[in-house]
Each structure stands twice: as C-alpha cells, then as structure tokens.
Amino acid sequence: MRRQSVFALITAAAVTLLWAGVDASARPRRQPRRTGPPPVLQVPPETRLLVISPHPDDETLAAGGLMQRVHEGGGHVNVVYLTDGDGYPEGVRSEGHVESPAPSDYRGYGRQRRREARDALAALGLDRASHTFLSFPDGGLCKLTRTYWSERRTAFRSPYTRLDRPPKSEMIVPDTEYRGEDLTQEIARIIGDFRPTMILVPRKEDQHPDHCAAWFFLGDALTDVRRVHPDYTVDVLNYIVHFYAWPFEEDGPRLEPPGLRGGASGWLRFPLTPAEVRTKRAALKKYSTQMHVMDWFLAGFARTNEVFSRPAPVRVVLPSRRNLCCDQ
Ligand SMILES: [Zn+2]
C-alpha cells in the first residue's frame, strides 16, 4: 500500500475540512499559571467527534460523558478501535477457563470485546453505525512505528491471535496488513471521510504502549491529510487512561493525574451531570470481560468529571528512528 493511494482517495472525496477553534500553525503557548480550578472544556453544537480508542473500553473510560454530550448537542460521534483488545492473556484465561489459550481463544476473546463495545456505545445512546474496528494487533502497535513500518519486511504477526492482517471485512483500505504505514493510511482515510471537527486521542505519556503509539499514528495520519489539504485544522484533544495510580484520587480539588502537566492548554475539565455519570457507569458494565478482571479500575473512571488537554501543534512523521512507546 502506498501513501499516494490514500491521498488520491481523500482528494477524490473532495472533503472540505473545517477548523473548530485551534490554529494548527500557532506556536505552543506557555501554560499560564492558574490558581483556580482548570477551565471547562466547551463543546460547540454539531461537533463531529472522532475518538481514537486503542482497545474496546478506552473510549467510554475516557469520554463516556463527552460522547453523550456531543450526541445530545446534535453532533456526531465516531469511535475508531485500533485493536480488538485480544492480546490479554490474563483476561483470556479468566474468560475461557484455560491455562494455555490457543490463537482461537484470543480471537474469540477479541470478538467478545467487540460485542461489548457495540453494547457500550448503544448504552451511551450512540447508534450502531458510529464505530469502526480496525483490528490491528493488541500489544503490537509500538513495533509498527518503525520495525514493521513498510513492505520492506514481512508484516507483524500477533503472538496471540497469530494473525498478520485484519479480517477482510474490517479493512478500510484494501490489502491492509499489520504495518505502520497501513495503519496510518486507514486512520487518514477515516479522517477524510468523517471530517471530524474534534479528535480525541491518548496522550503520548500514557503508560500503555498501544495508547502511546495511538498518539503517533494519529499525528502521522494528520500529517498525511494536511499534505493534501494544507488548510485542514481540527481540535485535537488528549485523554489519559494509564498513568501510575490514576484515576484513584477521590473527586475533589485534584481533577487531573498527579505529576502530569496539562500540556499546551493546561488541563481542561469536563463535569458530568448525575444522569451522564449513571449512563457512563451502565455503559462500562457492558464490558463484562473487563469487569471480571479489573472492575475496580473501570469504576475509577465513572466519576463526576472527565479531563482532557490540548497538545502543542501536532507535527509527527513516521517511521521513527526507534520503536516509539515500546518501553513505556
Ligand atoms: Zn486501552
């Protein structure tokens, strides 16, 4: 797969991408010293929100409330699951009651997590067309930033599912394999087709390698889109799921992950109504495979606020000189 093919597709789509309030060419500003609580994230009406979710459940953990608000405000939400979350031996053992899971067990676990994701989005009130599964390798995204980047070598093969490509039914770009270049192309295609005004993606400081890698792939995809549409701008927001003991601080003055600065914007809080918290909690319960092994972790995110941050202008070009994120 060559990048030009995606450029052509995006051009053919003749997308007109609108900017939602952040100037991508602006230099990062020094974070102002604040004494009060972090500012509140505002959601413009008719927002088109694209959520990059490394695994099924990240979208609801980080933004179950924000997705509800966008939907209720007349906007559109599209969740892109980079992996099926099938590379989780402890979860597969627990769910399948097998000591040494076979590739078929991992694949079955991935299918179950996809079903749970659909149910969770339905619980949030989102229609069933508002998601895409890319089915890239869980636990393998960091190696795709360099080692398994292009056709110069064989594609990455998941040590869990033993697959080296998504199922044909899940391919956005034909002939996609587990290569970084292919993942970038698929994300770029989705951006071109969906035309988001706001994108949510994990921060690169997230301590799960797949989450960190998601940031770099989104950045690389945006670089591709802007080669074709130089004026394209979008409000990129970061979320964080895995960072030391986060989010086990009680609700209160401390709303953001301790020890992590809020990036270019500073932290932005997003208070949820009691009804939104109840709905978010109900959506998280749809992830029964995860509730079985880490209900305490999921419950920690069903709190009265979500937090986000805006990064400095996104300038990422892959492949990198080393495997980014693998040592997170
Ligand atoms: Zn995750």
Separation of 297 CA from ligand 1 center, angstroms? 12
How far is it, in rounded angstroms, from Cα 160 to Cα 140? Answer: 10
The structural architecture, per CATH, of the domain 3-17+40-309 is 3-Layer(aba) Sandwich (3.40)
pLDDT, position 58: 97
- pLDDT average, residue stretch 155-175: 96
Separation of 114 CA from ligand 1 center, angstroms? 13
Six-digit token string for 277 = 């918290």
pLDDT classification of 249: cutoffs 50, 70, 90:
low
Separation of 72 CA from ligand 1 center, angstroms? 26
How far is it, in rounded angstroms, from Cα 13 to Cα 9? Answer: 6
Give the amino acid at 64: G
Task: Characterise 293 by phi-psi region: left (phi > 0), alpha (psi -120 to 50), beta (else).
Answer: alpha
Separation of 287 CA from ligand 1 center, angstroms? 13
How far is it, in rounded angstroms, from Cα 142 to Cα 213? Answer: 5
Separation of 45 CA from ligand 1 center, angstroms? 28
Separation of 82 CA from ligand 1 center, angstroms? 10
- pLDDT average, residue stretch 258-277: 92
Separation of 205 CA from ligand 1 center, angstroms? 13
- pLDDT average, residue stretch 285-294: 91
Going from N- to C-terminal start, the domains of the chain cover: 3-17+40-309
Record the pTM: 0.88
pLDDT classification of 245: cutoffs 50, 70, 90:
confident
pLDDT classification of 254: cutoffs 50, 70, 90:
low
pLDDT, position 8: 38
How far is it, in rounded angstroms, from Cα 131 to Cα 134? Answer: 10
**Is the model's pLDDT at 76 over the cut of 70?**
yes
pLDDT, position 5: 40
Least confident of 2-6, 194-198, 270-274: 2-6
- pLDDT average, residue stretch 71-83: 96
pLDDT classification of 121: cutoffs 50, 70, 90:
very high
Least confident of 25-29, 144-148, 228-232: 25-29
Q: Mind listing the pLDDT tens digit for each residue in 12-60?
A: 333 323 222 233 333 444 555 556 778 999 999 999 999 999 999 999 9
Six-digit token string for 156 = 């990455």
